[in-house]
Amino acid sequence: MAAVAERGIRTDASSVKARIVAISPERVPLYAGWLAACFAEVYSEMDPDAGLESRLAELLSRSMRGKGSLLLVSELVDPAAPATATAPAGYVDAAVLLAIEHSDPILGGEVSWLRLLYTRAPYRSRGLASAMLARAEEVLRARGVTAIRADVVYGDDAVMGVFERRGYVRGRMALGHTLLGDV
């Protein structure tokens, strides 16, 4: 059973409920195609790679069982949306967050490396990314993960702002955020 958290998000006309679903490890490969497309858009300097989806599916099936690995998907209500392999009828996949467990032998601790935080264009600027990041922090903290490191594409000020508003600090290589509380 997937862990589901419901959050309200802003739309132009009203507030819409978004279901934030933690995807179980056995269902993660169903999202490989969407994740590959998201990575290709976010890292636009990458050449299109026909093998990315299969490599990503294989990587995800190996790495998603660790406590620092997490795939969250935000589903929005859309009564006209048909059921797909990843969303039930009446819902549309609007945003995704992918974190991969990473043990750092130098700095120590269980670290989750946030590899992707992506919102489909029609659903941006509505608080989805912030809500997903907050949910990821809750889940990872409950699992005993001590910190999150995040990659952000250079020059993506909108995404950088999401992280900084949640207390992430810029480092030389990535953004960082401790999950240990007031340390």
- Domain locations in the chain as residue ranges: 3-178
Q: Residue 82 corresponds to which tokens in the numbers above?
A: 């048909």
Q: Binning pLDDT at 50, 70 and 90, where does residue 2 land?
A: very low
Please state, in angstroms and rounded to a whole number, the distance separating the CA atoms of residues 55 and 40: 13
Please state, in angstroms and rounded to a whole number, the distance separating the CA atoms of residues 15 and 122: 15
71: left (phi over 0), alpha (psi -120 to 50) or beta: beta
Superfamily of domain 3-178: Gcn5-related N-acetyltransferase (GNAT) (3.40.630.30)
Q: Tell me the pLDDT tens digit for each residue of 39-56.
A: 888 776 656 567 777 888
Q: What is the pTM of this model?
A: 0.80
Give me the pLDDT at residue 10, please. Answer: 47
Q: Tell me the pLDDT tens digit for each residue of 109-151.
A: 678 888 889 898 888 888 999 999 999 999 999 998 888 888 7
Mean pLDDT, the chain, integer:
80
Comparing 167 with 62, which gets the higher pLDDT? 167
Q: Tell me the pLDDT tens digit for each residue of 4-15.
A: 555 555 444 445
Give me the pLDDT at residue 135, please. Answer: 95
